[in-house]
Amino acid sequence: AVELTNRVVLESSRQATTAIAFQEVAQSMALAVQSGVEHLQSIFTLNVATTGSALARLLEDAGKEGEVRASLEQSQKAVDAALEELSQLAATAANALSNFPKDGGAAPGPARSGQPSMALAEPASTGKASTKKGK
């Protein structure tokens, strides 16, 4: 009876711990994606400022077209890179969450030398053992 109680308690504890860990990982992934979005917004802001500055230079002197074109291309490359980084970040976050263990993780392993084992031995089969919490 003690072994059965221990197993039921440990299993429910493992499941609760896994649920809490999943919430923590999900929150961390959400913060990472949010940070990536903020980075992209900053890059977009710089892109708009660069575009405005480039157009102002072009209006002042039409001969600076090559210089203006180069700065606009660099600015667009930064936007493209930020978009790619955000895409990779979101994919990594989604992968981490979809591959998160949902079964409570693996059973505790064997004890290290000098330490008691948390793993419980299987009780002798009597054919009457029930693992339901209410019994």
Domains of the chain by residue range: 29-96
Higher pLDDT, 5 or 125: 5
- Residue 83 C-beta-side C-alpha neighbours within 13 Å: 8
Query: Among 32-36, 54-58, 60-64, 104-108, which is the least confidently predicted range?
Result: 104-108
Predicted TM-score (pTM) of this structure: 0.62
Kindly report the average pLDDT of the chain as a whole number. Answer: 79
* Predicted local distance difference test score (pLDDT) of residue 125: 40
pLDDT tens digits for 61-93?
988 899 999 999 999 999 999 999 999 999 999
- Residue 117: is its pLDDT beyond 70? no
What sections of 1-134 are H helices per DSSP?
2-60, 65-98
* Predicted local distance difference test score (pLDDT) of residue 130: 42
* Predicted local distance difference test score (pLDDT) of residue 132: 42
50-54: long-range pairs with CB below 8 Å, 24+: 50/74, 50/75, 51/75
Overall residue count recorded for the chain in this entry: 135
pLDDT tens digits for 97-116?
999 887 655 434 333 344 33
Q: What is the mean pLDDT of residues 26-49?
A: 96
